[in-house]
Amino acid sequence: MLIKEAQFVRGAASWNGLADDGLPEIAFIGRSNVGKSSLINMLVGRKSLARTSNTPGKTQQFNYYLINNAFYFVDLPGFGYAKVSKAQRAKWERFISRYLSEHEPLRLVIHLVDSRHDPTSLDKDVMEFMKGGWMTYVVVLTKMDKLSGNQRGKAKSQVQKALAAFNLEVPVISSSAKNKTGKDEILQWIQDVGL
Ligand SMILES: Nc1nc2c(ncn2[C@@H]2O[C@H](COP(=O)(O)OP(=O)(O)OP(=O)(O)O)[C@@H](O)[C@H]2O)c(=O)[nH]1
Ligand SMILES: [Mg+2]
């Protein structure tokens, strides 16, 4: 699959702001700073379509990018960001879980896990949540360029182990936005869900 066109169309801060035009959606979910916006930029081949930052918690809304005039990439707010209030966090968690369980246009969930760390408890929450989901679910390990060859194998098996604890058999794709690796494999999954 080839991404020919990509444009930012809207930021949604509440349920009513989600797209309702029926176009299929692909969600990018993961903790703050894991590399969601960077991965989107890599996939669309643009340097700064999605805003990236060293400051975790930059993406505080659902950002919609229209791809090839046919479907959306949805950049979800990062979870686990320490500086937001408890109430704010609870509100986002409710919003995200409702989005994952009720938003019908959702076709594919791309869960990003930092290859340098074990999956966090919030990552495990996402895994558990996806267990009952109807949409395709894949895990992408980010920032693989920061690891040695030996560490890479370990990172992958750690995530596979965490998934296995939920009886999940899902693809785990290694990626680096810096080196542009993993791109073809992720685009293939997007094609495989019919987009
Ligand atoms: N070395 C390396 N750095 C990366 C990679 N992907 C992202 N980064 C860096 O990690 C930081 C966070 O990346 P973002 O793409 O902004 O992360 P995010 O998940 O969108 O963060 P929030 O919007 O805060 O949730 C930035 O400094 C990126 O340059 C990668 O594959 N390799
Ligand atoms: Mg972001």
Atom of ligand 1 nearest to the CA of 51: 16
Which CATH number is 48's domain given? 3.40.50.300
Q: Is the CB of 53 under 6 A from ligand 1?
A: yes
For a ligand 1 pocket test, name from 32, 33, 116 the mutation site with the most ligand atoms within 8 angstroms of its C-beta: 33
SS3 185: helix
* Structural domain count, the chain: 1
Domain that holds residue 139: 6-192
pTM for the model: 0.94
Spatial distance between the Cα atoms of 140 and 132, rounded to a whole number of angstroms: 19
DSSP H/E element including 122: helix 121-131
Q: How far does residue 52's CA lie from ligand 1's centre (Å)? A: 6
58 belongs to a structural domain? yes
Atom of ligand 1 nearest to the CA of 38: 15
1 belongs to a structural domain? no
Walk along the chain (195 residues) and give the pLDDT tens digit of each residue: 899 999 999 999 888 899 999 999 999 999 989 999 999 999 999 989 988 877 766 667 889 999 999 999 999 988 776 667 888 778 878 888 899 889 999 999 999 999 999 999 889 989 998 988 889 999 999 999 999 999 999 999 999 999 999 999 999 999 999 999 999 999 999 999 988
